[in-house]
Amino acid sequence: MRGQHKGENGKVLIMGGSEDYAGAPALAGLAALRSGCDIAVIAAPEKTAYAINACSPDLITKKLQGTVLATAHVPMLVKLAEEFDCVLIGNGLGTATETADAVRMLCEAIDTPKVIDADAIKARPQARNCIVTPHAREFELWTGKKATKANAVKASRRDCITLLKGPVDIITDGKRVTENRTGNDGMTVGGTGDVLAGLCAGLVAQGRPLYAAACEAARVNGLAGDFLLAETGYGFLASDLLGIIPRVRE
């Protein structure tokens, strides 16, 4: 906007990626930018980070030594998180034991608002000031309970919002419950959850309260999928959502 400067509309730090999964954090970072935030930085293992740089010139990377996120990276990442408005953890991280240990340490140590997605949910961190975005199986791994609306409410609280993904998304803070009915079966394609997580992080970075950000992200992600279904039919890709996001936002 006129009169504003780079970074004033929010900065997102994404901790994700591994040897097999460079695309997941890249999709999340680009979705955060499409939400309207100014800067997305991805902290990823070195080779993965270079691959992400090759995917898009719009993404900045912080290159971590080694092939996975590890506990040795935690002190630096906790310090780095202080420079950002939201931290997204989990996209493409993998499930190495040392990565799960690092996730738990990061979620406990970082005070910045967080979005916890994908492999970070499987680490079962003790999280606060966050949105957690599980699909049904991830919810069961996180809570030990079936993925139902009632259990999502029980798992949530004011500073830990659950966005339970499904044919109807359930967003709850333990008291309020919103059902999002946008989206379609074409969105079962891999990567749409990474886009959703990036949207959540981008909106939080721009100052949205956690609950409002989760509700808006679910709605917009689904609307983008519905637009693509109407235009092209089934077979669209998660990356196709990115260019549609600004068109379907109110």
Confirm whether 4 is domain-assigned.
Answer: no
| Total domains, the chain | 1
pLDDT at 4: 54
Confirm whether 1 is domain-assigned.
Answer: no
* Range 6-11 average pLDDT: 79
Domain of 168, CATH number, reads 3.40.1190.20
User: pLDDT at residue 22 above 60?
Assistant: yes
Domain with 179 in it: 11-242
* Range 180-192 average pLDDT: 97
Selection from 75, 82, 84, 47 nearest residue 63 by Cα: 47
Q: How far apart are CA 138 and CA 184, in angstroms?
A: 20
Residues 6+ apart with CB under 8 A from 15: 42, 43, 44, 69, 77, 87, 88, 89, 90, 93, 106
Confirm whether 247 is domain-assigned.
Answer: no
* Range 178-185 average pLDDT: 98
Residues 6+ apart with CB under 8 A from 110: 77, 78, 81, 87
Helix 23-34 to helix 46-55 angle (10° resolution) is 50
* Range 26-48 average pLDDT: 98
